[in-house]
Structure 1
Amino acid sequence: MTTKPNASRREFLRAASMLSLAGSAGAPFALNLATIGAAAAQTAPADYKAIICLFMAGGNDHVNTVLATDPTSWAEYQRLRTTSDTDSIALPSVGAAGGVLPITPKTAQAGRSFALHPSLQPLKDVFDANRVAIIANVGTLITPTTLVQYRARSVSLPPKLFSHNDQQSFWQSSLPEGARSGWGGRMGDLMMASNSSPLFTTISLTGNTVFLAGLTVNQYQVSSAGAIPINALTGSLFGSGAGANPLQAIVSADRTNLFEKDYATVTRRGIEAQMTFANAMVAAGPAGVPNPTQYTNPNSGQLATNPLAVQLQTIARTIAGRSVLGAKRQIFFVNMGGFDTHDGQRKSQGDLLARVAHALAYFDGLMGNLQGVNLRNQVTLFTASDFGRTFTSNGDGTDHGWGSHHFVMGGAVKGKDIYGAFPVTGLKHDLDVGSGSLLPQTSVDQYGATLASWFGLSATQIADVFPAIGNFSNKNLGFML
């Protein structure tokens, strides 16, 4: 017998104790031995599927992203968000110059009408084409919680609410800052046996992230330029082109010392992985994956390069090379900062959402015809963020909130609809925890579990990945086919 079961048991106890510190009474957190064995033994699926997390770091203001526009809601929105001609964060009405964009969800919510931020026109087009859904009022929860319970602290609550670092971590891992694994990585643990090369199961385009940290799987980090080589193993070394090969021999040669031997083994694997990944990626440009157009900055009217679109192009180039990588299941992570809009929100969020909409519409087009193949049904992108923001304005911005609205995009999405009851517009209602900050009605675990089910995880595996899912009666929100 190997020592792996003991290591797994220790990992189980460690993670379980961390969950206890978070105050959860949820299901077991770490991967149990039976689940690991089942994952390793499963037959690789015949199809390909990918999930992409777009994390909007800083806390996106959901109130100006998806809006209720029925007369009662709109009047209250304008009353609370109109401050002065120069500082107001209230958006113009439907039909006005630069006004909000009306949408018609398939499922009516009595007496309500809705719209999107004016910068989201490219995303609205995909919504209208049935490939984008809106998930209302999602947030970090351990158990269903009422306003009375929140105020009395009579149920377990996520630790350190309204804190950037802790809520980013809880969104991505179900644990506060310091977590060692995320739910994307734990899904990767279970699905990596589907891939002939497990190393390319979880891929980050924004450095090390807790979302993709697994108990077994290691996230592979790339840049928009592709695989990241070890410095000086390509090109010149101290001005000499002859130094790369000797350096590679030095850092990867076998050793007798056990620590040096292990280091050299890891280095060789890294070099081989970089070469494999670089060879698998399809080229960018007309002969491969088309380059994104520039987007229009809504504040200046000027065209500019959209870094998020370039990141999504890198993902598309990777997906196009899936056969070379031997990949059947992949999870990607991209991060976009700037959403902490305490001031200057109207201009800054307008530009941020313009980039999001431009990039997502571009990626939707790529998936519709990736080297002659329609992969929309096999690739799903979802948004996440630290938290929502307050309904009230602090002058020309908003402060940290809790629940928020999010988008899911893909051909397998039951799109052109809003899932979950859209909250009351305004203050002092039964979901207002202060200044219009929303008490979430849908947990991140429910949101993620719905994606995981589409990805191919069983109910038992989902319970291992999402520690508190057992506390919620509705474990699948129904937005995926």
Structure 2
Amino acid sequence: MHNYKVSRREFLRLSTLLGSTGALGLATPFAINLATMGSAAAQSNVSDYKALICVFLNGANDHANTVLATDSTSWSQYLTVRTTNEAGSIALPQVGASGGVIPISPNSVQAGRTFALHPAMTELKTLFDAGRAAIIANVGPLLVPTTLEQYKAASVPLPPKLFSHNDQQSLWQAYAPEGAAYGWGGRMGDLLAANNTNPVFTAISAAGNAVFLSGRTIRQYQVGTSGAVPIAGLSGSLYGSSTAGSTLRNIISGDTSNYFQKEHAAVTSRAISAQSMLAPAMAVAGTGGVPNPTQYTNPNTGALANNALATQLQTVARIIAGRNALGAKRQVFFVSMGGFDTHDAQRTAQADLLAKLSHALSYFDGVMGNLMGSDLRQQVTAFTASDFGRTFTSNGDGTDHGWGSHHFIVGGAVKGKNIYGTFPVTGLKHTQDVGSGSLLPQFSVDQYGATLANWFGLSTTQINDVFPNIINFSNRNLGFI
């Protein structure tokens, strides 16, 4: 017999991940917050509302076709490397050409260089030009500041398991490879949840389970596109009986002498309570509430289609609209979209993906500009993240796994219309090229996250706690917000 030694706290944490399904289609919404509700009684130290939204691009977005240097030297190198003899060559048309890249003019001048966005990102260009979007150049996991020589000599500690999808997603979200327990969104929630009347609504995912939102005490609350997920059969008629629902509730949430059943019943009760609070607090979708997203245009076919990422952001907006009813002052959200692992057919696949991203962020900005009569753009910030960047070299009609990547920050508090950091040299065999044009990051995820955390209201001590490697970097605030 195994002698498992599990603390009560860990037992409670694990029990939140368990649900029961059966013929009735019952399911306990998982990842319910088990932090004691008494923590909400702590003295609130913020009076305003702020929300952070992580927009995760699963699969690793190709940064080099998302934000491009278009000055003559850079463009010549770009065409030389990214144009292949394959039918699926990934080089994009130049500025001014049909379907060409879209020029942008950052406020900060980088001598002799000009820039553009992918041609599918017209809405994001509008946000950039309006000063509500910024670009962070070449961000990725780092443990300490690292030069190319140090990387090649392995003379400084390097992030583990580079170029591995699951591990690098986890490193971005939780500073450790796959299996990490706590993410930096959840840890921020731990420290700020006392400002919320109902801590259960501090960290919310509209895209399934994400380690980014896992805290030491705060547990992410997961919602679907229809909002809070109810347990089926507790209301209305069940099997033709008007009383069966209440009987079922007693069965799944009633007290018992068995410790496991007792804790499962407690989780179920909290799930029922949370759903009953969130459902009426959320604004309705559509007329009279949060407007439904328009359809986006597929750049490859010209056809209109629904945008699942925009629908996730609508769900986030509906929850933000209920912030007062929920007693929320600080909330962290997670949304995501997949498909960015473009080893093949990159030019068509990425165009569609970036069109969805651009459309969704523009839709969300518009909603935040007039959310049930309030302009919340100064109080809500969205930022992108992804597994890693991709190689500058092409494998024919796609790219392979890289490291550093460019990212977007969107919101009214963002110091927009700018590119932060020195934009990498376009080409191969330069001081940030670790091989095949894969970029050695100039900024760490810790620096990126710490800048957001500072705006969110964390103190220097708290930021040190949330981002364990930030003490290794002299520049703790990148200044983009």
1:70-81 maps to which residues of 2 (within 5 A)? 70-81=71-82
Corresponding residue number in structure 2 for 1:324:
325
- Give yes or no for contact 2:61–2:389 (8 Å, CA) kept in 1: yes
Root-mean-square deviation over aligned CA pairs? 1.9
Query: In structure 1, how many angstroms separate the alpha carbons of the residues matched to 2:457 and 2:63?
Result: 30
Post-superposition CA distance 1:126-170 (Å, at most 9, x none): 110000000000000000000000011110000000000110000
1:243 Cα deviation from its structure 2 partner: 3.4
Corresponding residue number in structure 1 for 2:364:
363
1:328 Cα deviation from its structure 2 partner: 0.1
Flag the 1:85–1:236 CA change in 2: closer, same or farther, 3 A: farther
- Give yes or no for contact 2:65–2:118 (8 Å, CA) kept in 1: yes
Query: In structure 1, how many angstroms separate the alpha carbons of the residues matched to 2:94 and 2:266?
Result: 61
Corresponding residue number in structure 2 for 1:442:
443
- Give yes or no for contact 1:446–1:477 (8 Å, CA) kept in 2: yes
3-state SS of 1:382 partner: strand
1:103 Cα deviation from its structure 2 partner: 0.2
Corresponding residue number in structure 2 for 1:139:
140
Flag the 1:223–1:235 CA change in 2: closer, same or farther, 3 A: farther
1:255 Cα deviation from its structure 2 partner: 2.2
Corresponding residue number in structure 1 for 2:48:
47
3-state SS of 2:312 partner: helix
Moved more, 234-243 or 122-131: 234-243
1:213 Cα deviation from its structure 2 partner: 0.4
Structure 1 residue ranges (4+ consecutive) displaced by more than 4 angstroms after TM superposition? 38-42, 234-242
3-state SS of 2:63 partner: coil
- Give yes or no for contact 2:207–2:312 (8 Å, CA) kept in 1: no
1:230 Cα deviation from its structure 2 partner: 1.9
1:7 Cα deviation from its structure 2 partner: 8.7
Amino acid at match of 1:292: P
Corresponding residue number in structure 1 for 2:466:
465
Query: In structure 2, how many angstroms separate the alpha carbons of the residues matched to 1:39 and 1:137?
Result: 39
Amino acid at match of 1:63: A
1:235 Cα deviation from its structure 2 partner: 6.1
Query: In structure 2, how many angstroms separate the alpha carbons of the residues matched to 1:202 and 1:379?
Result: 14
Corresponding residue number in structure 2 for 1:154:
155
Corresponding residue number in structure 1 for 2:205:
204
Query: In structure 2, how many angstroms separate the alpha carbons of the residues matched to 1:236 and 1:438?
Result: 59
Q: Are 2:231 and 1:230 aligned? A: yes
Amino acid at match of 1:60: N
Query: In structure 2, how many angstroms separate the alpha carbons of the residues matched to 1:237 and 1:97?
Result: 60
Corresponding residue number in structure 1 for 2:59:
58
3-state SS of 2:383 partner: strand
TM-score scaled by structure 2? 0.90
Query: In structure 1, how many angstroms separate the alpha carbons of the residues matched to 2:201 and 2:407?
Result: 27
1:155-174 maps to which residues of 2 (within 5 A)? 155-174=156-175
Flag the 1:85–1:265 CA change in 2: closer, same or farther, 3 A: closer
Gaps of 5+ in 2: 1-6, 10-38
Amino acid at match of 1:80: V
- Give yes or no for contact 1:39–1:191 (8 Å, CA) kept in 2: no
Flag the 1:476–1:39 CA change in 2: closer, same or farther, 3 A: farther
Post-superposition CA distance 1:222-255 (Å, at most 9, x none): 0111001123335665576753322112111222
- Give yes or no for contact 1:133–1:417 (8 Å, CA) kept in 2: yes
Amino acid at match of 1:367: M
Query: In structure 2, how many angstroms separate the alpha carbons of the residues matched to 1:435 and 1:286?
Result: 51
- Give yes or no for contact 1:39–1:190 (8 Å, CA) kept in 2: no
Moved more, 454-463 or 245-254: 245-254
- Give yes or no for contact 1:52–1:331 (8 Å, CA) kept in 2: yes
Gaps of 5+ in 1: 1-5, 9-37
Moved more, 362-371 or 81-90: 81-90
Q: Are 2:335 and 1:312 aligned? A: no
TM-score scaled by structure 1? 0.90
Amino acid at match of 1:66: V
Post-superposition CA distance 1:187-233 (Å, at most 9, x none): 00000001010000000111111000000101000011100112333
1:14-53 maps to which residues of 2 (within 5 A)? 41-53=42-54
Q: Are 2:424 and 1:417 aligned? A: no
Between Structure 1 and Structure 2, how many residues are aligned?
A: 448
Query: In structure 1, how many angstroms separate the alpha carbons of the residues matched to 2:421 and 2:168?
Result: 22
Post-superposition CA distance 1:433-479 (Å, at most 9, x none): 00000000000000000000000000000000001000000000000
Flag the 1:479–1:156 CA change in 2: closer, same or farther, 3 A: same
Query: In structure 2, how many angstroms separate the alpha carbons of the residues matched to 1:54 and 1:121?
Result: 18
- Give yes or no for contact 1:44–1:195 (8 Å, CA) kept in 2: no
3-state SS of 1:226 partner: coil
3-state SS of 1:343 partner: coil
Post-superposition CA distance 1:75-108 (Å, at most 9, x none): 1101111113621100000011100000000000
Query: In structure 1, how many angstroms separate the alpha carbons of the residues matched to 2:240 and 2:385?
Result: 44
Amino acid at match of 2:452: L
1:174-323 maps to which residues of 2 (within 5 A)? 174-234=175-235, 237=238, 243-323=244-324
- Give yes or no for contact 1:87–1:396 (8 Å, CA) kept in 2: yes
Corresponding residue number in structure 2 for 1:403:
404
Query: In structure 1, how many angstroms separate the alpha carbons of the residues matched to 2:42 and 2:111?
Result: 49
Moved more, 377-386 or 260-269: 260-269
3-state SS of 2:438 partner: coil
